[in-house]
Chains A and B, each alone.
Chain A
Amino acid sequence: MAMGDLQQTALHDLHVEAGAKMVPFAGYSMPVQYPLGVMKEHLHCRAEAGLFDVSHMGQVRLRARSGQAGDGALALERLVPVDLLGLAEGRQRYGMFTNDEGGLRDDLMIANMGDHLFVVVNAACKADDIAHMRSHLSDDCEIEELDDRALLALQGPAAEDVLSSLVPDVRAMRFMDVIAVDTLFGPLTISRSGYTGEDGFEVSVPNAAAPDLARALLAHDAVAWIGLGARDSLRLEAGLCLYGNDIDATTTPVEAALTWAIQKARRAGGAREGGFPGADIVLAQMADGAARRRVGLRPEGRAPVRAGVVLFDSESGGQEVGTVTSGAYGPSIEAPMSMGYVPTPLASPGTTLYAELRGRRHPVTVVEMPFRPATFKR
């Protein structure tokens, strides 16, 4: 796709001004790195605070036609295996849209804003997700894409100090709290969450005010722009899935080790058991186990073992047993890290497998994730 066909976010001019290298990503021209470079951006985010433009992601408002917030929650529960009726006002949950085979159409964040649900979906899936919600939920919900809003993530140990200088209310927030607040930058929706394993916030801001908000944040010495390159190594150290790599239409929540996101109310024997696409398959796998599972992998040595690398059960000969879905060098753990799918009997931490790299097999060890412990403010 030519750069000219790409959409731009409201922060595009700021990225160019900051010297970003812009690349096509999910139909948008996005910053992959700034002059600091991927490695230093990653470390800066962990040491101080990183600012990410994630405006390419889809922001959607779901409002129950009945005017009853619970009706919106119950409606969306038809598409996601998450307990939304039990999601308190001002709180956010991770979830996923399932398909009829129990696979994942997308993963998303869902917040209860009192009179509506605020949903954030992946850029590459947003058109499909919105069509999916409209086709299944329009009788009960008004579904509005908030394409007049940008999304900024501020992540890292200095995020609270920086953002609270502009929006004092954020100090009182805990991990996965969400607030709507009127500011000099217009009406903001702020969640205390992110995609780095760091404490931090995601801020939905009107497009017109987004550059001013970004400049106000960047005025703090602690804040630096972080591109998509470092965003990937940060999320991988945190053990978080990238839709399209680590999870997709062929991976179930059980295979993807995401059953923690399916609360008791939606499980077998729960108050609202099943009731989402592919529930029979997902609940059966929760009872009986799945044949494969997503695991963390630590390669021996320094060579990164990247997406697409094949895993074997033996140093020579043997069987092909799995595939790496994400892999990179982790700047904070100072070692390579990967995730991938392996047969469940080989998914126990400590299991040694072999990754075939440039014709040679390198030992990799199955490990617990995250690779680096999260620093959320719970």
Chain B
Amino acid sequence: MDLSAISPTLLVASLMVAATPILLAAIGELVVEKSGVLNLGVEGMMITGAISGFAAAVLTGSPMIGFLCAALGGAALSVIFAIITQYFLSNQVATGLALTLFGLGLSAMLGQSYVGIKPPASVKLDLPLVSDIPVIGPILFSHDFTVYAALTLVTGVWWFLKYTRGGLILRAVGESHDAAHALGYKVVRVRILAIMFGGACAGLGGAALSLVRVPQWTEGMTAGAGWIALAIVVFASWKPARVLLGAYLFGGVAVLQLNLQAAGVSIPVEYLSMSPYLITIVVLVVMSANRSKSALNAPAALGRVFHASR
């Protein structure tokens, strides 16, 4: 065992890459939940995005088109959820589960002929001089562009929710759909748009996994990342900045356990692989334990079915 082989600089740099898929999915789900909808289908949308992005990138040779198609794929799948929950007024928990089951099957089906292929390399920031600065260079200036895209998106969502009229309407819909409806806001329309945004983000997250982080396609490759993203939203008590913190925390755990595996720690590999999931549980427990604080932030209409009787 050689722990000194683990370099802190590389650890931080790689945790940012590892956290990006979860960060993208989580920030999308945050917007969905802020509009009062609980979409448990993140895992399904993520993996659909992973394969549609992968397939498009391989077919066109352009990772950019890949990411675009991933967002479209995720959004397309989320439309199914949107229609069934918003127009057919179904139970959101059950529909979200259905979306995950369907997405896993669909992606495995679409991805059959893409197993074992290498995707075209994604765009990486590489500034002369700046990227070569020790410590700061690898951490801040030499990542794949998805890392920066995710950070920009988080900032954008924070700004949108806090400072724009649209954000205010979205939050109003999530807090009390009846009141928002009475004020004349289109509850269903706002929610459908939010769900599609969430789907697109989850799709991008999936593509960040299949095109950048791994980069390869394997069946069921998200391995619970979508569910961890859901947990991060709870952990963040529905605040964008804390989503960032949460995602990087989980990225850190994932990278650290991989590094420990590589360093040959005497703990069996399987038990190290468990750690991200176990830590998710621990974090959920800690967050829910001081209920008075975190629950206040949960959108009041979260998961409730909206039916305008008039």
Question: Do chains A and B interact in one complex?
Answer: no
B residues with a Cβ closer than 8 A to A are: none
